[in-house]
Amino acid sequence: MIELLIEKLSNPISEIFLSGTCAFLGAYIAAYFGYKKSHDEALGAQVAERRVQLYDDLLNASFRIRLNRKKLFDDSYLTGLYCLTPRCRALAKEEVRTAYEDFFNYLITLRTEYATKDAELENQFYCHVPACDYYDTEDTEEVCIPQYPGAEREYDHQHQTLQESLLPNYKKLDEFLNGLSNAINSDLNRG
C-alpha cells in the first residue's frame, strides 16, 4: 500500500521537479550565452579602441623620422619604436603588423651597418689601452686615445660623412610610411 502511495505521489513530483529543472537549465543557458555575447562585444570594443590608439602611436612615432632623418642615430627614438613592437604584434591586423615590421627592419639594417662601420672607424683612429689601476683592483677599464695628432679631427670628419651616407633615403622612407598608413587606413575603414 505504501508502495502504491509513493508511486502515485512520485509521478507528479518528478514531473514538477523535471519541469522546474528544465526551466532552470534553460534560463541558465540563456543567461550564460547572453552574458558571453555582451562580454565578447565589450571586449571587442575595448580591443578596437586600443587598436586605434596603437595605430595613432605607430604613425606618430614612425613619421618623426621623415621630418628628421638623423633620428636613425638617436637610441631613444629606436627604443621607442622597438617598444611599440609587442603592442603591434598583439593588437594590429596582419597587414599593419607586416608594414610596421618592414619599416622597423629597414631602420635596424641601416643602424647595424652604421654601428659596424663606426667601430671600424674608431679602430682606425683610436687605440684602446687599459686604464691605470691606481687602487690595485682587478677591474680595469679601457681608454680610447688618438693614434696620432689630428686623429680626433679626422675621425669626426669621417664619422660625419658616414652618418650622412647612411641617412634613410626619402623615397624608401615614403614607400614604407605610405605602406603603413595605407594598411592602417584599410583596416580602420573596413570595420
User: At 89, is the pLDDT very low, low, confident or very high (cuts 50, 70, 90)?
Assistant: very high
Grid coordinates representing 161?
660623412
Percent of the chain topping pLDDT 90: 57
Asked if residue 96 lies in contact with residue 187, where contact means CB atoms within 8 angstroms, the answer is yes
Cβ-in-10-Å burial (0-12, 13-18, 19+) of 22 comes to exposed
Of 57 and 31, more confident: 57
pTM of the model: 0.71
Say if residues 155 and 122 touch (Cβ distance below 8 Å).
Answer: yes
Residue 179 burial by Cβ neighbours in a 10 Å radius (0-12, 13-18, 19+): middle
Model confidence pLDDT, tens digit, residues 127-185: 877 776 556 666 667 777 888 888 899 999 999 999 999 999 999 999 999 999 999 99
The answer to whether 58 and 84 have CB atoms below 8 angstroms apart is: yes
Mean pLDDT, the chain, as a whole number? 82
pLDDT on residue 140: 67
- Measured CA to CA, the distance from residue 120 to residue 21 in angstroms comes to 80
Q: What is the pLDDT of residue 142?
A: 74
Angle between helices 170-190 and 2-67 (to 10 degrees): 150
pLDDT reading at 50 higher than 70: yes
* Averaged pLDDT for residues 50-74: 93
